[in-house]
């Protein structure tokens, strides 16, 4: 469902990881420990107490896929600087924007399966945080959803705006009886202020949150059902958390109070929590 091997290969192929693998053993400072935790998860190092030893047989990286190339670019310029210094990427080069967009394709099969397996046809859907999972046109073409896509950075959101610009745009959300993909809209705003969207769109039938953090109490009030999607594969989860934070976006957060009342579904490496309002439960 998610090409884990491609993501791991991209991380291991970077010059900085190649250099670190020359070291037999290292005791990282608190600042760089998160980096070595990620490298241990992808098999480059083994943790021994407070030290990390080079893996006995570090994974070999051969030919790289487009996703691996994108991951390598992202790791080198966003994830690594954030993990070792907390530096955030305020400006994105054209090459880095392209890499980020290619990375969202790693979740295409996941998006299709989630949409096919879980969502009923029709309704107005809020995508609360487009990156990295990239929920968008699948919701329209498979489930006939009208879609409002929210992201916190305009340069991130523009990647998907450009792609969808060829799809006809309706002036307002349409009814279930009309064709799929007839309405979509984009909003650049903080994920902490999603309740303000109801002034413009009304209440949503569905909200989707994937590998991002939102105020669950607020989003629970603006959508009849909320799908909170967590990726249980630890290397991918750690990589995504560092990537999202390195871009200055709201990272994943778990609100145990709300998850306790959620219906939990498992789909491959995903844990999907479905929270429904009292009127739709």
Between CA 202 and CA 134 the distance in angstroms is 23
**Cα(32)–Cα(83) distance, integer angstroms:** 6
98 Cβ contact list (under 8 Å, min separation 6): 70
- Strand-pairing partners, residue 184, are 147
The predicted structure's pLDDT at residue 180:
44
- pTM (2 d.p.): 0.91
**How remote is the C-alpha of 135 from its chain's centroid?**
9
Each of the 281 residues of the chain gets a pLDDT tens digit; together they read 899 999 999 999 999 999 999 999 999 999 999 999 999 999 999 999 999 999 866 667 678 999 999 999 999 999 999 999 999 999 999 999 999 999 999 999 999 999 999 999 999 999 999 999 999 999 998 999 999 999 999 999 999 998 887 655 544 454 444 444 468 899 999 998 899 999 999 999 999 999 999 988 888 899 999 999 999 999 999 999 999 999 999 998 766 677 777 899 999 999 999 988 655 55
Contact 8, 42 (CB under 8 A): yes
- CB of 32 closer than 8 Å to CB of 40: no
Q: Are 42 and 59 in contact (CB under 8 A)?
A: yes
Instruction: Provide the residue count of the chain.
Output: 281
pLDDT score of 176: 43
**Spatial CA neighbour of 140 closest among 102, 191, 172, 178:** 178
Asked if 268 contacts 113 with a C-beta cutoff of 8 angstroms, the reply is: yes
Which pair of structure tokens corresponds to residue 121? 């046809």
Check residue 134 and give its pLDDT: 96
Compute CA 127 distance to the chain's CA centroid, rounded to the nearest angstrom. 11
Token reading at 2 = 């998610």
Q: How far is CA 150 from CA 127, 136, 147, 200, 263, in A?
A: 6, 11, 10, 13, 24
Whole-number Å distance between alpha carbons of 279 and 237: 33
For 99, the enclosing helix (H) or strand (E) is helix 94-104
């Amino acid at each position: 469902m998610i090409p884990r091997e491609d993501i791991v290969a991209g991380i291991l192929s970077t010059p900085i990881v190649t250099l670190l693998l020359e070291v037999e053993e290292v005791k990282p400072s608190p600042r760089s420990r998160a980096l070595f935790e990620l490298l241990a998860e992808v098999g480059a190092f083994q943790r021994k107490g407070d030290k990390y030893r080079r893996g006995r047989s570090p994974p070999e990286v051969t030919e790289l896929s487009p996703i691996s190339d994108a991951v390598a670019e992202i790791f080198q310029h966003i994830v690594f600087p954030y993990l070792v210094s907390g530096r955030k990427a305020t400006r994105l080069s054209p090459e880095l924007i392209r890499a980020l967009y290619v990375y969202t394709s790693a979740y295409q099969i996941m998006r299709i399966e989630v949409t096919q397996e879980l969502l009923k046809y029709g309704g107005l859907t809020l995508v609360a945080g487009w990156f990295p999972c990239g929920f968008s046109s699948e919701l329209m073409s498979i489930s006939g959803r009208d879609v409002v896509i929210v992201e916190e950075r305009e340069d991130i959101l523009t990647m998907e705006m450009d792609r969808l610009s060829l799809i006809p745009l309706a002036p307002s959300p349409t009814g279930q009886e009309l064709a799929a993909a007839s309405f979509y809209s984009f909003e650049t705003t903080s994920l902490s202020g999603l309740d303000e969207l109801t002034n413009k769109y009304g209440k949503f039938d569905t909200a989707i949150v994937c590998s991002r953090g939102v105020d669950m109490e607020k989003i629970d009030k603006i959508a009849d059902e909320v799908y909170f999607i967590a990726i249980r594969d630890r290397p991918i989860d750690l990589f995504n958390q560092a990537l999202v934070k390195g871009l200055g976006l709201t990272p994943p957060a778990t609100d145990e109070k709300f998850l306790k009342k959620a219906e939990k579904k498992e789909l491959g490496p995903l844990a999907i929590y479905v929270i429904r309002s009292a009127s739709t439960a």
